[in-house]
């Protein structure tokens, strides 16, 4: 039976735990610190944060304060939109390492492909950022590099100058939006599909089909969706600030959703909201 410490192998042979703990919207300070500690206590060994979340300091402190060895934790952070470009990315990486109180992160991602600040020259700025990230990778500051919210044309553009293929593309993936074109493109490049908001930011929890199927399998709709994500080969990043829910979300390894029910869940596209178009976001 699988567990939280089972891993996928990235395209550079680095191992990444198959479920991560998300910290988006976990407020800096006591809330973020306690939620990460609760996640580590529950058995998570994969923690996901970002500069934009404003909580790297609390996440890093929680890891440092825990009884878990840093080398047993897979830690991700991300480049924010204001920091695209070669020199800015170099500084951003060093600032994140300082905030997280660590000398390396396991995964570093470009958070958005086309921020409004660089909309006129996003391709060049991504190429410059990627060059800085490749250098950080070779220097041992990061163990793997990747992207987030990239569509097919963003990937194709990046690959024109990249010498290292992204290891991960982290996207809004859940039963409401499977993003098949994006996930297929990732598979063609051997890029792992990571799923943020795997519960649709909680909006999918009240969908009757998911409640009914959860009851059928003796699990909650949250557990059902996380199991669905794993069966699609995704890496889900559930988030909570409540210790009991953090523990609850780990109960996803003792059942399998049958093919007919997987297809029924796939059919929920658009039930709540779908992914934002990264070329149109106003940040």
- At residue 195, φ and ψ (nearest 5 deg) are -115, 105
Work out the pLDDT band at 13, boundaries 50, 70, 90.
Answer: very high
Q: What number is the average pLDDT over the span 118-136? A: 98
In contact, 169 and 193? CB cutoff 8 Å: yes
Percent composition of the chain: helix, strand, coil (DSSP 3-state, to 5): 45, 15, 40
SS3 7: strand
In contact, 199 and 222? CB cutoff 8 Å: yes
First CA to last CA across the chain, in angstroms? 42
| Residues identified as active-site | 53
- Beta-strand relationship, 21-22 and 168-172: unpaired
Contacts of 105 (CB under 8 A, 6+ apart): 75, 76, 77, 96, 97, 141, 142, 143
pLDDT at 1: 87
pLDDT tens figures, 48-80: 999 999 999 999 999 999 999 999 999 999 999
Q: What is the DSSP letter of 142?
A: B
Q: 208: how many CB neighbours lie within 10 A of its CB?
A: 8
Whether the full predicted model's pTM is greater than 0.95, yes or no, is yes
In contact, 175 and 22? CB cutoff 8 Å: no
Is pLDDT above 90 for 153?
yes
Q: What number is the average pLDDT over the span 252-273? A: 97
Q: Is the torsion defined by CA of 6, 10, 15, 20 positive or negative?
A: negative
What whole-number distance in Å separates Cα of residue 247 and Cα of residue 110? 30
Work out the pLDDT band at 152, boundaries 50, 70, 90.
Answer: very high
Work out the pLDDT band at 262, boundaries 50, 70, 90.
Answer: very high
pLDDT tens figures, 215-238: 999 999 999 999 999 999 999 999
pLDDT tens figures, 173-214: 999 999 999 999 999 999 999 999 999 999 999 999 999 999
What whole-number distance in Å separates Cα of residue 21 and Cα of residue 243? 12
């Amino acid at each position: 039976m699988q567990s939280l410490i089972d891993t996928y192998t990235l395209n550079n042979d680095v191992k990444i735990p198959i479920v991560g703990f998300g910290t988006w919207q976990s407020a800096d300070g006591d809330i973020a610190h306690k939620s990460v500690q609760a996640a580590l206590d529950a058995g998570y060994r994969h923690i996901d944060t970002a500069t934009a979340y404003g909580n790297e300091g609390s996440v890093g402190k929680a890891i440092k304060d825990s009884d878990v060895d840093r080398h047993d934790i897979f830690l991700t952070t991300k480049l924010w939109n204001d920091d695209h470009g070669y020199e800015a990315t170099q500084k951003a990486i060093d600032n994140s390492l300082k905030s997280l109180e660590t000398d390396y992160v396991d995964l570093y991602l470009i958070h958005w492909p086309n921020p409004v600040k660089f909309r006129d020259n996003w391709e060049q700025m991504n190429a410059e950022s990627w060059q800085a990230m490749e250098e950080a990778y070779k220097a041992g500051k990061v163990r793997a590099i990747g992207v987030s919210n990239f569509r097919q044309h963003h990937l194709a553009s990046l690959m024109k100058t990249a010498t290292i293929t992204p290891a991960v593309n982290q996207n809004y993936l859940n039963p409401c939006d499977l993003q098949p074109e994006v996930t297929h493109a990732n598979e063609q490049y051997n890029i792992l599909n990571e799923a943020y908001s795997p519960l649709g930011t909680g909006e999918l929890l009240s969908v009757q089909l998911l409640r009914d199927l959860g009851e059928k399998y003796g699990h909650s709709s949250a557990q059902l969706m996380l199991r669905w994500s794993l069966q699609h080969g995704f890496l889900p990043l559930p988030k909570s600030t409540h210790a009991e829910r953090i523990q609850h979300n780990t109960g996803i390894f003792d059942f399998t959703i049958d093919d007919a029910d997987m297809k029924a869940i796939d059919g929920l596209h658009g039930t709540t909201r779908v992914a934002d178009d990264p070329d149109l976001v106003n940040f």
